[in-house]
Structure 1
Amino acid sequence: MPGLVTIGLLVTASMVIGVYGVRAARATTPDFLVASRRVAPGWNALAIAGEYVSAASVLGLAGLMLKYGIGSLWYAVGFTAGYVVAAALVAGPMRRSGAYTVPDFADYRLGSRPIRRLCAVIVLVIMWLYLVPQFKGAGVVLHLVSGTPYWVGVVLAGAVVTVSITVGGMRSATYVQAFHYLVKLLFIAVPAVFLVVRAGADARSEALRVDVTEWSRPLLDIEGAGQPLLATWSVLLATTLGAAGLPHVVMRFHTSATARTARRVAVGVIVLLGLFYLFPAVYGLLGRVFTPGLGTGGDTDTVTIVLPGAIVPGAWGSVLTAVVATGAFAAFLSTSSGLLLALAGGLTHDLSRASVPRLRRAVAAGALVAVVLSLPARSVDINVAVGWAFAVAASTFCPLLVLGIWWRGLTPAGAAAGLVAGVLSATGAALASVVTEAAGAAAVLLAQPAAWTVPLAFAVMVAVSRAGPPPPAWAERAVLRLHAPDPPHH
């Protein structure tokens, strides 16, 4: 019952903060999508970190460490390094483009409505791939702490996020996500420190000893395929380049007043993420000592929730479990908020004429589809589904943004060919990894396809652009505008 109480308090506080955000909201499309570009840098960095630290970070990373060992920390490295790429290559120019969404940018840079619609469809693919593990995590956590059926947590998370976003858009999401980051950091970090102390010196030594042979080669061997270097390289490509192409991440840069502010926000996010990722590793390492059964047939995604009770039995264990579960639930809610906003933008702003009522209906429709997809997805590893979303983003929007910003030679035909090649290869590989029994390098290249799908998308964009007619004269002016200095502010 403590878990139900604390999660109930979190949901109530989130709704109250969301309603507070409504007071400052305006009934306009720019305000709904990007808060009229007036979010303060500190709030924005907290909100982006809150949005980004998802079920994959809170539950999935610890579960992967339990399953595969210390090499799984490469996921955290990639998740954080993605913002280095975003700050260096994408944040400033994207803000100068004046676009709200990735399809907006494609329309601005390439002057092509079909490419805008193609990008909008890819947004939907990425967002639903990313939303399913969030709602799955909510269902699993609520079931663990209260015994309610799995579907209850899925539906509850969908309903809470839908209400919060439909009433206040980006402003409500910003305040709620900043609050959720602080909740996640406090509710995951404090129990982690307590569990390390309570576990005792012998258990701490055993946790490190379990991985001692892996510290010298901290590489990720997915499903025992025997290709740790290839798997690690592919995971790093997907997580690092995928972060720079995630639609809800890109949309966040447009809430800043200037390009310089957008870059400052990205640097702040790197600091906040680096701080948070210190703690899921604790649950994974201690879980290998106290809950080894989860790694040999159980649901590894539950280790963060199960571990406190295994180390501290009784009432205090229940309290710690409730605290950690609340931090995990905050992750699902905050990430889902940003994903639904980007999804609504793709359904309305990019595919048809946008208005606030349409955006609100799109949020509800997008959440409903995600809930329906999440109900049969209980057995899917959270990080697997999130990894697919990152792989698709890395294979589509990352090449589009990097080449569109830094190479004037990109043409609509080249962009379209590269986007189609990237989305078909990445999603096709993910589906093939589920329905086939590949082994060795083939298993890695299907389960983590970024190692070949990202170079393929870049190569196709460049080759088709060079083979066709040159870009129009205005393309050079469009690129120059992306790199022009910010006007002075007084």
Structure 2
Amino acid sequence: MQLNPWALTGIVLVAVVTPYLGHRSSRSATSTHDFLVARRTVRSRRNAAAISGEYLSAASFLGIAGIVLKDGADALWFPIGFTAGYLALMLFVAAPLRRSGAYTLPDFVEMRLGSQGLRRFSTAFVVFIGVLYMVPQLQGAGLTLATILPVPVWAGGVAVMVLVAFNVISGGMRAITVVQALQYWIKLFAISVPAFVLCMVFFTGGGPDGFRPLGAPAPPVFVSDTTVDVQTDVTLHVTSDTYLYAYGRTDNGPAAGPTHWTPLAPHTVSEGTKLKFMAGTPVPVVSDASVDNADWLHPGSGSLTDLLQTYSLMFATFLGTMGLPHVLVRFYTNPDGKAARRTTVHVLLLLGLFYLFPTLLGALSRMYVPELLVTGTADAAILQLPSAILPGIGGRLLGAVTAAGAFSAFLSSTSGLLVSVAGVVSTDLLPGRVRDFRVAAGLVALCPIALAVVLRPEDISLSIGLTFALAASTFSPLLVLGIWWRKLSWPGALAGMLVGGGLVLAALVVNVVSGYTGGWAPWFVNQPALITVPAAFVSTYLVSRVTGYGRPEHVHDIMLRLHAPDPLGFMRDRAVARFGQAEEKTRLPGRGRHRK
């Protein structure tokens, strides 16, 4: 592996700036009110940049391009769904959620339904979703650092978590708001500049080996002699008789020289095997990727299964956003419901702008780094593409920019997740003081590190897609019906979370077992939302209808608070004395005025 000092420099700069800004922003953070909701004075545009910064995670920066590289047109639903989820959030959730005066998602559950038991149950799901979402962030960080340095994959994840934990423990939400807002612009710069430069190179000459079209129906080919080191066990498909040199283990047997693969059956390649391909050889692809460009360019195969998978992905991404704890907690920092809705409009603009670029880079990766289809490490496409198109100092500089942006993505997303989970743990399981928040942040940080080391790294976007399915199947029914249907009861909400969450967790277990035992699981295990989300909504509705209890006595007052326009003054923050807002208002009069 060739060391890229420029990429290392970019990562170090991001790693230094992040704690510095966090420390400066946290100097005035003295109460739990600061640590949980940044004193509810974050202006709309800054909050939108911070939300976009934490939302554009490893799945967005690395995963989208990797999925486009593998699946082509079918992968476009990921950026569409990730963005459209905020449209649903803006229409149904953002403003009423802020008017509730809650500090955390379980706090909203108790406010709306008056059940301590349901609050504790929702706390468990918040912690699980947050930890599950942090794991691919740390795996992506490990992949990035291992791409530019000869270090083990787990080293990047540990480095990210140490930096994030320092920031969160220092100042909580107040410390990470400015950091996340800045990191959005870092990520936009880090992905847009390489996209513009590489597209210009492509259209003016096509890089070192000339112009490479994507319109040909045949598979991509190696344009020069290529050696591929396989770092994990993979199963490969070929479209025609393929001749290569293999050193290691292939097809469950030793290989030490010329090898012939036929398209009649898939071929297994063991970890540590070295494959050498001659120029002009069609690129073998991992078992779940599009084999040829004709399939890659067209969405789906026309089968019912592909259609159902697409709808399942839409359910997960469209509705999962409103159930992600680290997304919702940022709306509590707005001063009122109108500002929360305005924030969401700005987020839609920022995300739509960003997602143009990983799609372009994924298409270029299909032409210039097809060897990633052999190794199964498609998520490294953005990191390796600059050097493949621009050998020399130009490609290394662009690679440094993308590496810094990727590292920024891991930091910002993990920061938001850790704040949201630590806030829930400190207020629901601990007394809720500043010291408790810091203890909770330290304890929570250990869990995803352990899981990232133990679990196998998979395609980052796909693993996060399962997290979206879990959020859509648990909190989405509770929020939508809780905000817009006054007859929702806590037994109904509990039933919906049990049914939806239980089905997704069962799919997750089956998916993991299937990955270790031959990949036999059907499509709805990888994309369960089409089944689990309707099941959760129906269960919530039916149980609420048949139960004659479980509704708060003052439900009409609660609904008025959620939906009354802000100038009427019905909005009240919960637990004022406990979280320090009263003391802050006394000590800092006039502080924290809101601007657009």
Smaller-chain TM-score range? over 0.9
Is the aligned partner of 1:33 residue 2:111? no
**Superposition deviation, residue 23 in structure 1:** 2.5
Distance 1:297 1:238 in 2: 28
Higher fraction of helix = 1
**Contact residue 238 and residue 390 of structure 1 kept, 8 A:** yes
Residues 23-60 of structure 1: per-residue CA shift (max 9 Å, x gap): 232x2112101101000111101100001000000111
**Superposition deviation, residue 366 in structure 1:** 1.0
Which of the numbers 107, 110, 115 marks the counterpart of 1:107?
110
Distance 2:8 2:382 in 1: 17
**Contact residue 114 and residue 552 of structure 2 kept, 8 A:** no
User: Hey, what does 1:83 align to over in structure 2?
Assistant: 86
User: Hey, what does 1:53 align to over in structure 2?
Assistant: 56
Distance 1:426 1:206 in 2: 41
Comparing 440-449 and 288-297, the one that deviates more: 440-449
Comparing 296-305 and 205-214, the one that deviates more: 205-214
Which of the numbers 15, 24, 28 marks the counterpart of 2:28?
24
**Contact residue 71 and residue 296 of structure 2 kept, 8 A:** no
**Superposition deviation, residue 207 in structure 1:** 3.6
**Superposition deviation, residue 441 in structure 1:** 12
**Contact residue 238 and residue 387 of structure 1 kept, 8 A:** yes
Instruction: Name the amino acid aligned to 1:444.
Output: W
Residues 296-339 of structure 1: per-residue CA shift (max 9 Å, x gap): 33311111101111111122221111110100000000000000
Instruction: Name the amino acid aligned to 1:75.
Output: F
User: Hey, what does 2:555 align to over in structure 1?
Assistant: 475
Instruction: Name the amino acid aligned to 1:281.
Output: T
Which of the numbers 517, 524, 527 marks the counterpart of 1:445?
524
User: Hey, what does 1:267 align to over in structure 2?
Assistant: 345
Instruction: Name the amino acid aligned to 2:173.
Output: M
**Contact residue 157 and residue 332 of structure 1 kept, 8 A:** yes
Is the aligned partner of 1:218 residue 2:299? yes
- Structure 2: 5+ residue runs without aligned partners? 218-291, 570-592
Alignment of 1:155-304 (within 5 A): 155-200=158-203, 203=206, 206-207=213-214, 213=294, 217-219=298-300, 227-304=305-382
**Contact residue 74 and residue 220 of structure 1 kept, 8 A:** no
Distance 1:19 1:379 in 2: 32
**Superposition deviation, residue 216 in structure 1:** 8.1
User: Hey, what does 2:18 align to over in structure 1?
Assistant: 14
Distance 2:196 2:369 in 1: 18
Alignment partner of 1:206: what SS?
Answer: coil
**Superposition deviation, residue 394 in structure 1:** 0.1
Distance 1:175 1:404 in 2: 32
User: Hey, what does 2:499 align to over in structure 1?
Assistant: 421
Distance 2:371 2:6 in 1: 25
Instruction: Name the amino acid aligned to 1:351.
Output: L
Distance 1:170 1:297 in 2: 39
**Contact residue 227 and residue 441 of structure 1 kept, 8 A:** no
Instruction: Name the amino acid aligned to 1:461.
Output: T
**Contact residue 208 and residue 285 of structure 1 kept, 8 A:** no
Distance 1:226 1:407 in 2: 34
Distance 1:120 1:249 in 2: 15
From the superposition, tell whether residues 105 and 21 of structure 1 become closer, same or farther in structure 2 (CA, over 3 Å).
same
Distance 1:283 1:59 in 2: 10
Residues 418-438 of structure 1: per-residue CA shift (max 9 Å, x gap): 111111111111221222389
Distance 2:159 2:123 in 1: 27
User: Hey, what does 1:485 align to over in structure 2?
Assistant: 565
**Superposition deviation, residue 71 in structure 1:** 1.5
Comparing 467-476 and 419-428, the one that deviates more: 467-476
**Contact residue 143 and residue 156 of structure 2 kept, 8 A:** yes
**Superposition deviation, residue 66 in structure 1:** 0.8
Residues 208-232 of structure 1: per-residue CA shift (max 9 Å, x gap): 65698569853499xxx97221111
Distance 2:536 2:462 in 1: 21
From the superposition, tell whether residues 158 and 215 of structure 1 become closer, same or farther in structure 2 (CA, over 3 Å).
closer
Distance 2:301 2:475 in 1: 26
**Contact residue 145 and residue 322 of structure 1 kept, 8 A:** no
Alignment partner of 1:148: what SS?
Answer: coil
**Superposition deviation, residue 353 in structure 1:** 2.1
Distance 1:128 1:141 in 2: 20
**Superposition deviation, residue 172 in structure 1:** 1.2
Is the aligned partner of 1:348 residue 2:426? yes
**Superposition deviation, residue 478 in structure 1:** 1.2
Distance 2:297 2:465 in 1: 25
Comparing 346-355 and 259-268, the one that deviates more: 346-355
Normalising by structure 1, we get a TM-score of 0.95
Which of the numbers 476, 495, 508 marks the counterpart of 1:398?
476
Residues 185-242 of structure 1: per-residue CA shift (max 9 Å, x gap): 0011101111111123575772465698569853499xxx972211111111101100
Comparing 472-481 and 359-368, the one that deviates more: 472-481
From the superposition, tell whether residues 457 and 195 of structure 1 become closer, same or farther in structure 2 (CA, over 3 Å).
same
From the superposition, tell whether residues 200 and 176 of structure 1 become closer, same or farther in structure 2 (CA, over 3 Å).
same
Alignment partner of 2:566: what SS?
Answer: coil
Normalising by structure 2, we get a TM-score of 0.78
From the superposition, tell whether residues 111 and 19 of structure 1 become closer, same or farther in structure 2 (CA, over 3 Å).
same
Instruction: Name the amino acid aligned to 2:500.
Output: G
From the superposition, tell whether residues 329 and 466 of structure 1 become closer, same or farther in structure 2 (CA, over 3 Å).
same
Alignment partner of 1:396: what SS?
Answer: helix
Higher fraction of strand = 2
From the superposition, tell whether residues 219 and 82 of structure 1 become closer, same or farther in structure 2 (CA, over 3 Å).
farther
Which of the numbers 51, 68, 71 marks the counterpart of 1:68?
71
Percent identical among aligned pairs is: 44
Alignment partner of 1:436: what SS?
Answer: helix
Alignment partner of 1:43: what SS?
Answer: helix
Which of the numbers 479, 490, 500 marks the counterpart of 1:412?
490
Instruction: Name the amino acid aligned to 2:152.
Output: P
Which of the numbers 402, 405, 414 marks the counterpart of 1:324?
402
Distance 1:237 1:90 in 2: 16
Is the aligned partner of 1:147 residue 2:150? yes
Distance 1:419 1:33 in 2: 25
The number of residue pairs the alignment matches comes to: 486
RMSD: 2.2
User: Hey, what does 1:132 align to over in structure 2?
Assistant: 135
**Superposition deviation, residue 350 in structure 1:** 2.4
Distance 1:258 1:213 in 2: 51
Distance 2:309 2:518 in 1: 13
**Contact residue 72 and residue 298 of structure 2 kept, 8 A:** no
Instruction: Name the amino acid aligned to 2:435.
Output: P
